[in-house]
Amino acid sequence: MPEEEIEPIRWEEGQLLLLDQTLLPERQKWLTIDTVEAAIEAIREMRVRGAPAIGVAAAYTMVIAAASISAPTMSTWLSLLDPISGRIAAARPTAVNLGWAVQRSVEVARGANSPTEAHERLLALAHKTKADDVATNRRIGRNGAQLIPNKGGILTHCNTGALATAGYGTALGIIRAAWEQGKRPHIFCTETRPWLQGARLTAWELVQMGIPGELIVDSAAGWLMSRGEVSAIVVGADRIAANGDTANKIGTYSLAVLAKSHNIPFYIAAPISTVDVGVATGEEIVIEERPPEEVVNVKGQRIAAEGISVRNPSFDVTPAEYITAIITDQGIHKAPYERALRTAVHQTKAMAG
């Protein structure tokens, strides 16, 4: 394990600092964010990405928003905060943690007696959101590590490590926890087109942690499964519906179908906050479609013919029937998912008071 933990989100001297993930692994550059507009742009442009990380960034963005508002009364102050919070929540539509963090912040602000008190409460909440995320991820790691075999191949998709969270990671955190326990599975990570989060970020994190792994093109996964080289697949989630249907990085659904065909366990790893019991099934999840330039260009170099049309969905939905288990900080949940997930969500809310 690295001597220094990967910490992609920091708060220093009233400013949000984000490790620019669009520049990794070539450069490690920190962005200084001191306006709501800059924070929204960083989220939209995927300079900060991963559902948990976006949620933490959103909590700090609400602090920046609070500091930017000047109003004579608390009611006026709140009326000015509401449209700003709406813009923050709309920065990316699929990841539930973004809206969740904004809503929690709004509720905390409404409980304050003055704008100054609201700002203080929001900053305390943002710090707590960050700390809780790291602790949550470690619990996910401990829960999921028991499902990871001592040997064999483990395949993961996109990036679900410390960079996608406030620290440690979800699906990659499970792999890390298993490694810390002395297990030695062979790790495969997909390159994850078109943003190459697996090639640029997951591969970088594995190297930083000293965990051997192999990078594969997305389309090689099925071949490896057919050869018996994959013993389990563990991926993250951006939103989990009440019935267990899961939205995650595009390509996840294909992996799940292949896993079922080859009788390979397919695991989802996410904090319980990613479960949206207000969404009955995956059909209700809004899927973000991103600019065509992301597909036809790689690092500024066009790779596709001019004039070709492009479809660029950023996520897909894996039906619950393809999922072996959903691993959260509250335990390992198996079908029927609706009962298990609703119980876990309600228990979490009860513990939170």
The secondary structure of 149-187 as a DSSP string is: -SSSEEEE-S--BGGGSSSSBSHHHHHHHHHHTT--PEE
Q: Is 238 a catalytic residue?
A: yes
How far apart, in whole angstroms, are the C-alpha atoms of residue 19 and residue 88?
A: 19
Cβ atoms of 159 and 128 within 8 Å: the answer is no
Among 265, 266, 232, 260, which Cα is nearest to 246's? 266
pLDDT tens digits along 62-110: 999 999 999 999 999 999 999 999 999 999 989 889 999 999 999 999 9
Helix, strand or coil, per DSSP, at residue 268: strand
pLDDT tens digits along 205-243: 999 999 999 999 999 999 999 999 999 999 999 999 999
9-137 is classed CATH 1.20.120.420? yes
Among 173, 95, 108, 85, which Cα is nearest to 135's? 173
Helices 115-145 and 51-68, interaxial angle, to 10°?
Answer: 170
Omega within 30 of 0 (cis) for the link into 336: yes
CATH number of 144-352, picked from 3.40.50.10470, 3.30.9.80, 3.40.50.2000, 2.30.29.30: 3.40.50.10470
The residue-averaged pLDDT of 175-193 equals 97
Q: Residue 5's pLDDT is what?
A: 80
pLDDT tier for residue 348 given thresholds of 50, 70 and 90? confident
- Tokens of residue 297, six digits: 């260009």
Cβ atoms of 115 and 69 within 8 Å: the answer is yes
How far apart, in whole angstroms, are the C-alpha atoms of residue 174 and residue 161?
A: 9
Report DSSP letters for 29-71, one per residue: -EEEE-SHHHHHHHHHTTSS-SHHHHHHHHHHHHHHHHHH---
Residue 279 has pLDDT above 80, yes or no: yes
Q: Residue 353's pLDDT is what?
A: 61
In DSSP terms, 161 is beta-bridged to 169
Q: Residue 3's pLDDT is what?
A: 41
Cα dist from 83 to 40, 99, 114, 223, whole Å? 13, 13, 19, 49
pLDDT tens digits along 304-327: 999 999 999 999 999 999 999 999
Residue 4 has pLDDT above 60, yes or no: no
The residue-averaged pLDDT of 115-124 equals 97
Residue 20 has pLDDT above 60, yes or no: yes
Q: Which of these is catalytic: 238, 245, 316, 329?
A: 238
Locate the domains of the chain by residue range: 9-137, 144-352
- Tokens of residue 278, six digits: 């207000």
Burial code of 146-173, b = ≥16 C-beta within 10 A, e = fewer?
A: ebbeeeebbbbbbbbbbbbbbbbbbbbb
Among 95, 205, 113, which Cα is nearest to 215's? 205
The residue-averaged pLDDT of 161-172 equals 97
Residue 336 has pLDDT above 90, yes or no: yes
- Residues sharing a CB contact under 8 Å with residue 253, sequence separation 6 or more, in sequence order: 316, 317, 318, 322
Q: Residue 131's pLDDT is what?
A: 97
